[in-house]
A and B are shown apart, each in its own frame.
Chain A
Amino acid sequence: DGGITQSPKYLFRKEGQNVTLSCEQNLNHDAMYWYRQDPGQGLRLIYYSQIVNDFQKGDIAEGYSVSREKKESFPLTVTSAQKNPTAFYLCASSIRRTSGVQETQYFGPGTRLLVL
């Protein structure tokens, strides 16, 4: 079955620790995204990547880093510089725009990050 997987479902971070959230997709989508969701708020874009080896900062990139070495994978690292990392993190992907193809963003199940 095609889809987006995120792991782990829950992640605990200790003070000063870097942690990495995994996102994998087998939809053959070119673009991938990371969003942060806080209670009572909408989705805020952290990073996005249109193609392999290329990515752009979103609205709240400080304290986060990403890589895109493979089309299927877009891991997000929450660094120690992110002082308030407790949130729900959603990964998404979408197809590259080609003539006649309707683009839609599909989401993974999310990872909840908690600080110990």
Chain B
Amino acid sequence: AQTVTQSQPEMSVQEAETVTLSCTYDTSESDYYLFWYKQPPSRQMILVIRQEAYKQQNATENRFSVNFQKAAKSFSLKISDSQLGDAAMYFCAYRSALPGTYKYIFGTGTRLKVLA
């Protein structure tokens, strides 16, 4: 069975600085999707970034980028120029690409604090 591990329950970053959130996963599959979701105090889950395992290029969305290391089964999220609005829980998620598979597997989350 696949698992997703976020080993940092909480992280802090100074405003305008860069922070990296870690995520590792375990799977025997070769094709899958990986996601980072943000959950601000409103508790609405918001997609931050996604990565297809078959793509070697790391995904980027404005200030958010990932470091996808397939062999190491690592999927870290880098937030550049951190802003106060980035403060939230961040969840890493895995989904198989096998046909008919719809289940997502989430990590336990990392709470990010942004210090002014």
A residues with CB within 8 A of B: 31, 33, 37, 40-43, 45, 48, 50, 58, 88, 90, 92, 94, 97, 102-107, 109-110
As a 0/1 sequence over residues 80 to 116 of chain B, the CB contacts with chain A under 8 angstroms (1 = contact) are 0000000000010101010110111011110000000
Our pick among B52, B103, B109 for the contact of A42 (Cβ within 8 Å) is B109
CB distance from A50 to the nearest CB of B (A): 5
Size bin of chain B's contact surface: 20 to 34
As a 0/1 sequence over residues 35 to 61 of chain B, the CB contacts with chain A under 8 angstroms (1 = contact) are 101000011111100101000000000
Our pick among A37, A41, A94, A106 for the contact of B102 (Cβ within 8 Å) is A94
As a 0/1 sequence over residues 15 to 49 of chain B, the CB contacts with chain A under 8 angstroms (1 = contact) are 00000000000000000010101000011111100
Q: For the complex, what is the distance from the CA of A26 to the CA of B61, rounded to whole Å?
A: 26
Please name 28 pairs of A and B residues whose Cβ atoms are closer than 8 Å in the assembled complex, sorted by A.
Answer: A37-B43, A40-B108, A41-B109, A42-B106, A42-B109, A48-B102, A48-B103, A50-B102, A58-B103, A88-B43, A90-B45, A92-B45, A92-B104, A94-B102, A102-B33, A103-B33, A104-B35, A104-B47, A104-B50, A105-B35, A105-B93, A105-B104, A106-B47, A107-B45, A107-B46, A109-B42, A109-B44, A110-B44
Q: For the complex, what is the distance from the CA of A104 to the CA of B59, rounded to whole Å?
A: 14
The answer on a CB contact under 8 Å between B104 and A33 is yes
* 5 other A-B residue contacts (CB within 8 Å) besides A41-B108, A45-B104, A92-B45: A31-B102, A48-B103, A102-B50, A102-B52, A103-B95
